[in-house]
Structure 1
Amino acid sequence: VLCVVDDLMNRNVITISGEMTTFEARSLMKLHKVRRLPVVDEEGHLIGIVSLFDIILAVFKKKGVL
């Protein structure tokens, strides 16, 4: 039996702003047990998504590992 996405989706979405630090974003991910967070503007419109992988990659690049 097929179902529609509307039946599966989470309506209580945790979002972040583009001004949030990577540390704050990672803390929210850990707290809510998610690996991705939607990024919204001041009006609540989706402008992107950030993943745990994105944050890890940025940390490695900053430390000169990559």
Structure 2
Amino acid sequence: MPFTIKLGLSVMVALAAIGGWIYMGYLNQTGPQWALTFLGPFAVGSLWIFPEVMRNKADGRAK
């Protein structure tokens, strides 16, 4: 995946996690707020750590 797309996805996921954290705080939901505190950075990190699945002709599938 190109760097710019990966960076854009990371920013969007981080903004969604921050928005969800703020909204859960507004609703006084501390459990989901703590979950977002840990799962948001995990989702962003997983975009950078785990490789993209690449298919080739040896798999029997076309790109």
Point out the structure with the larger strand share: 1
The TM-score, its normalising length taken from structure 1, stands at: 0.30
The TM-score, its normalising length taken from structure 2, stands at: 0.31
Point out the structure with the larger helix share: 2
